[in-house]
Structure 1
Amino acid sequence: MDPDPVDPPIPVPDVPGGDAGARGLPRRDDLTLRQRAIVDASAAADVVLRTGVASIVATSMVPTTLASMLASVRDPSTSRTEHDHMRFYADLAGAHDPAVSFPAPTEPPRVSTRQANPVAEIIAHGRVENLRFESGFTAVNPAMRALCGGFTRNNVVRAQHWRHDDGPHPTLCVIHGFMGSPYLANGLFLSLPWFYRSGYDVLLYTLPFHGRRAERFSPFSGYGFFAHGFAGFCEGMAQAVYDFRSVLDYLEFTGVDRIALTGISLGGFTSALLASVEDRIQAVVPNVPVVTPDRTVDEWFPANKLVALQRRFARTDPALTEAAARYASPLNYQPLVPKQRRLIITGLGDRLAPPQQAEMLWEHWDRCAFHWFPGNHLLHVSQPDYLRRMTRFLREFMFD
């Protein structure tokens, strides 16, 4: 297999990154003048992007925030509901047991497939199918089951599968970022046609509330993740884990015996969490991941103002909020994927998923393989460099 992927379809500056050292990511003085210039410029651009994304997130939070505020004014006892939700997830997180926090599917999915559109097959240069099946997920929190059970579109799981005609191959699963669900965009951004030509089957998984899983009248893909309060976000992550494990059941049924997982941003967060829940994953590569979303959102203006306002009206205990936020964090659980099969990728100029988030995961994951590039959340400067790093890393486990 050729170890060097083709150039990405989106031209990026050729400014090299590298692997983290013994003390972690490089300090500013360790960078060349050109690397510093790229990091500074990309960080400034990312702050603008972060403000735009935070505004969209804030828009999705407005109805829940207003409803919570009005309910608190009319009846102060209603703040007890939010407190009870927080306590529920904090208690689960306190057990540090992924089997309890994220129950496994009990029945295999009944998957239906159909040929994808011709453009997908042209891009992949091979056979492409769209998968769908009914989600078997039941909300972990009993108080959320009626709400979650009523999401008719979200409860249909969707994925796209690039398959070879000569039987199942080692499979690279990809999880997209927040609002970034289109299969074509993800396939091109990560040079997935090259991985396919190199011998991988590829599966692109759609997160809850994204793409065709978005509920009717959702203003944007991903709206539902933040539209139902803190408990809604927790259940969204729980369903993301549950439904992906059902996808693994399907792949295993079709004969796939080697699965690697990567994801970008929210997908990186999800892939890191799955590495602590699912032992059928041979290797995991979180890309620009967030690992403490509560702390990250606290830096996202204007969403952080709405979060603070909601907490004030709900009279939420900060310590309880922090404890509950650990429920969906990969930092709360020990990874099941062995250390030598973990690789983290981050951008030094990233301000949506700051590199400090990836460094926290690196510390929690026993200082595993860790690669950085001098770009931001969307402009992955020197992407061919990290694709080659990712290729060398995966080859030993997937094709040995």
Structure 2
Amino acid sequence: MSQARESSKLPVVSMHAPPAVPEQLVAFATRAADKILLAALRRLFLGNDVPTSEASFRSVVDRLQRYVDPELLADPERLLGLPPKLPKLRVVQRQPLTRLRREVGIDEHLCFATPYQPCDPEYASEYASYPEIATGHMWSWRHLDPAPATILLTHGWGVGPWWMHRYEYDVPYLFHELGLDVYFYLAPFHGRRTPSQARLGGQLHPSADLVRTNEAFIQTAIELRTLISAILARNEAPVGMMGSSLGGYTSALMASIDERLDFVIPVLAPASMAHLLWDHAGDDPLHQRALRLGMTRERFHHFWSLHSPLTHRPKVPWGRRMIVTGLGDTLVTADHTRDLWEHWDRPRHFRFPGGHAWQLQSKRYHREVGRFLRDIGVVTPRAVACARP
């Protein structure tokens, strides 16, 4: 057990505490929505890019070896580090942010040329066919005067519109009540970064193309580290991350590789994207084909271990980690969340009654985020006390 954990005054909330009966009812009501989402994601994931022969599978396995080299996994900076030259942020749109007819901040949409370059030579030509992902996008709500801290948000699989996630994370609460500067990052293959070849955002990442998924997570990590540098250049105050689902997984990864992050809050986050997808595959014919070709749950995780938080020790201190899960979440189940909680030495954990797709009573976790940031000294007690209940 880490010294940070032993000395921390923050509460350890058990993963196994029994929920109240009303919360069980709320959780039950969300499960139907999760089942619909799961069916859609299973069809989307398993309907693409599964090798069709032993020869093609062996070829993919050979290509995957560059991502699982033991020296690389011990030192992920070799692929996930900051680029030698940081790109400039370009303002797409900027306008005053007002409240009660008074200007209180700046609402921005920024873009940048991705500094990422493909690692796999065969993927390079495919990557060139996706010009949409060569441009990164970030939105922000910034205070007129430097805020005491910044939170960087990112989104889940298949979504990405900033207007949607302003509501999901209650950005007005983070900005106005807690006083944070808020930034939002759009991942490759989502939103306006969806390639024309895809029917919808998220179809091509994560996907059953194991090489493309590794490359897209490498691109994501490099871009996020670039944006953390840009944020710190604007305001040297502490920076933390929060994301939901795929964004929670990404936040946990970034907390494992970037020591500049001051706090991290993964929401509805799997510990292993490979384990999550494998466990939900069921008896789908394409899953059975993968089994016949020699894929297993363990091999699948190994091939994606570079970007799994389970591979790395977190760089964010124990007392500044908080995990949020949904009591009714049947997509990222308790087992998948527990793996991250255990790997992170059982940090602060909060459960709200909602599910994965239908996040009923999500205000509860929003307010718990405020209390967590108060407890670690990122925001003032007064800010949390004055926030609306």
TM-score bucket (shorter structure): 0.7 to 0.9
The whole-number CA distance in structure 2 between the counterparts of 1:303 and 1:221 is 26
Query: Is residue 195 of structure 1 aligned with residue 174 of structure 2?
Result: yes
- In the other structure, the counterpart of 1:287 is 267
Contact 1:92 1:100 in 2 (8 A): no
What's the counterpart of residue 216 of structure 2?
236
Superposed displacement of residue 222, structure 1: 1.6
Give how far 1:126 is off. 4.0
Counterpart check, 1:335 vs 2:349: no
Matched, 1:255 2:235: yes
- The answer to whether the aligner puts 1:212 opposite 2:192 as a matched pair is yes
Partner of 2:69: 91
Check if 1:82 corresponds to 2:60.
yes
Partner residue in 1 for 2:23: 35
- Ranges in structure 1 where 5+ consecutive residues have no aligned partner: 1-18
Question: Quick one: distance in 2 between partners of 1:284 and 1:154?
Answer: 26
Q: Percent identity?
A: 25
State the match for 1:166 in structure 2.
145
Return the offset for 1:337: 0.3
Q: Secondary structure at the match of 2:355?
A: coil
| 149 and 169 in structure 1: CA distance in 2 versus 1, 3 angstrom threshold | farther
Q: Following superposition of structure 1 onto structure 2, how do residues 171-182 of structure 1 map, counting pairs within 5 Å?
A: 171-182=150-161
Q: How does 1:61-210 map to 2 (within 5 A)?
A: 61=48, 64-65=49-50, 68-69=51-52, 72=53, 77-92=55-70, 95-116=73-94, 126-167=105-146, 170-198=149-177, 199-210=179-190
Structure 2 unaligned blocks of 5 or more: 1-10, 381-389
Matched residue, 2:303: 324
- What amino acid does structure 2 have at the position aligned with 1:191? D
- The code of the aligned residue for 1:352 comes to L
CA distance in 2, matches of 1:94, 1:102: 10
Structure 2 distance, partners of 1:150, 1:256, is 38
1:330 is matched by which residue type in structure 2? P
Q: Contact conserved, 2:13 with 2:348, CA < 8 A, in 1?
A: no
Q: CA RMSD in A?
A: 2.7
The 3 A distance-change label for structure 1 pair 244 and 82 is same
Kindly indicate whether the alpha-carbon contact (under 8 Å) linking 2:46 and 2:208 is maintained by their aligned counterparts in 1. Answer: no
Task: Report the Cα distance in structure 1 between the residues aligned to 2:343 and 2:284, rounded to whole angstroms.
Answer: 26
Q: Does the residue aligned with 1:174 lie in a helix, a strand or coil? A: strand
Residue number in structure 1 paired with 2:327? 348
Q: Deviations over 1:200-257 (max 9, x none)?
A: 1110100111111111242111222145711111111111111011111111222343
Residue 301 of structure 1 deviates from its aligned partner by 4.7
Q: How far off its partner does 1:374 sit?
A: 2.0
Match of 1:25 in 2: 16
Cα deviation, residue 355, structure 1: 2.2
Contact 1:350 1:376 in 2 (8 A): yes
Deviates more, 1:43-52 or 1:105-114: 43-52
| Distance of 1:305 and 1:181 partners within structure 2 | 30
Assess if the C-alpha contact under 8 Å between 1:92 and 1:101 holds in 2.
Answer: no
- Residue 32 of structure 1 deviates from its aligned partner by 3.0
Flag the 1:179–1:319 CA change in 2: closer, same or farther, 3 A: closer
Report the Cα distance in structure 2 between the residues aligned to 1:189 and 1:343, rounded to whole angstroms.
Answer: 18
Contact 2:278 2:297 in 1 (8 A): no
1:223 pairs, out of 200, 203, 211, with 203
Q: Any conservation in 1 of the 2:268–2:324 contact (CA below 8 Å)?
A: yes
Does structure 1 residue 47 correspond to structure 2 residue 53? no
Instruction: Give the TM-score, by structure 1 length.
Output: 0.83
User: Please, which moves more after superposition, 37-46 or 227-236?
Assistant: 37-46
- Taking structure 2 as the reference length, what is the TM-score of the superposition? 0.85
